[in-house]
Structures are given as C-alpha cells and as structure tokens.
Amino acid sequence: TSTAPGSQLTVAITAPAAGTCVAMTGSLIFTKQTSGVSAKFPIATSPTVAGSATGAGQELGISAAFDGTNYLVGIQGDATAMYNVTAQLMDASGNLVGPRISTGRTGGAPDVAFNGTNYLMVWPDDATYPNFVIYGEVLSKTGTVVKAPFAISTTVGNFNDGGHIICLGGVCRVMWADKTTKAVYGRDIDSSGGFFSNEYGIESGTAAGFPGGDPFAACDASGNCLAVYDTGTDIRGSIG
C-alpha cells in the first residue's frame, strides 16, 4: 500500500540486553486507517558491542520526515559509536533506500523536517562538550548533501536536547532551549541552508526552577508562528 503526504511514521527502540542487537523498528500509520498498522520492519539494526568504550551499536531515533516519496529518519549512533549523528532514507513500503547517511559529526539525536525542497536535519553538536552548539545539515530527497554541517546557534550552552523544527513556505524555524539558563532561541533557515534570519531570543530565561521543556511551534498560513515552551516554572508562548 502506498502512502500520501500527511501519513505518520512512528519509530520505537527495543532496549537490548548486553551483547544483543538494538533494533530500531517502524510502522506506517495512515491518516485514515482501514486495515490497521503494517508489519514491523527494521530501520537501524547495528549490533551492540558489549563493553565498547564508544557505545558501538547503541542507536536512538526521535524524528522522521516525509518528502512525498520517501522518509528520512534521524538517528543518533551507528555501528562505531553511540554519539555519531546519522540518518537513513526509506521508501513508503519500509524498505531502506541507500546506505546509512553519516554527517561526520557527533552529538545528540537529530530532528528532521522537509521544507518542500530538501531535508533539514538539526542536532546538538558536542564538539564543545560539556556545552553544545546547535548544528544543521541540508540533504536532498535522494540523501545527497546540499549543505554540509554548519553551526546554527551563535553561542554554546546546555543545548543537550537539541533543536526543534517547523517549516512553512520553504523556510524552517529552528528553536532550542538552554537547560541551565532556561533561555529559548530561534533562527530561520531557507531551503538551501542559508540564514533567513539572525539568531533571536524567544525567552530571556531565568536560572530558577526545574529544567524546562524544549520549545515547539505551530504556524498559520501567513507565517505567524506560536512558539510554546516550558520555563521550568510555567508554560509560556510567543507569537511572531
């Protein structure tokens, strides 16, 4: 059965015992279901390496996007190390399309969005660990690199949960939060990875309270977006 834009992809991680295989599996859930969920199929199945200092084979996926033909799944980890930032293309039937895509960078689990032309993948890059920089990479619908990994955030911070993306009219809004200061930031990226805006503040933040949740957003047809975020003490929003 073929899918259409608007179908959703769910990804689950099977927790392994030591020395066993981590299997990332997916299933296609249709907007209007008539026959239930499809059979499960593997997406990332690198075998774990017991005692590996790099966590080889440990993999995590939290985001996927659809381009009208194929899906792109963002994956943290591969057969070499748990912190390698990668992705995998797959078709609408659940078959892998091409080999695993490596960014050549390390960090947290990537978020993925399709902007109508290309994919934008965003993650917290750990080159400055214990602080992080929000990085992005632009990939074509075939998985080729349109723009190599580049820094989106202009400062480092406790961005360990990475950036979150919403796209409208070919422009993607990337938002992220500093878990220490509770400050929330954003930056707009065009379809080729160019900066459509400078980095801007959404919430100035306060160090008080518990670590807040990451920002998310919804946009109307005119391009106004509601950004919602958790400061650690309350839920706030900003429209712009």
Give me the tens of pLDDT residue by residue for the chain, a chain 240 residues long. Answer: 444 444 444 444 444 444 444 445 554 444 455 555 677 888 887 888 888 999 999 999 999 999 999 999 999 999 999 999 999 999 999 999 999 999 999 999 999 999 999 999 999 999 998 889 999 999 999 999 999 999 999 888 888 667 789 898 899 999 988 877 778 889 999 999 999 999 988 877 665 555 556 787 888 887 788 878 777 677 887 787
The pTM (predicted TM-score) of the whole model is: 0.80
Angle at Cα 225 formed by Cα 220 and Cα 227, nearest 5°?
140
CB atoms within 10 A of CB 194: 12
What's the Cα-to-Cα distance from 142 to each of 69, 74, 85, 103, 138, rounded to whole Å?
A: 10, 15, 18, 15, 11
Q: How far apart are CA 88 and CA 91, in angstroms?
A: 10
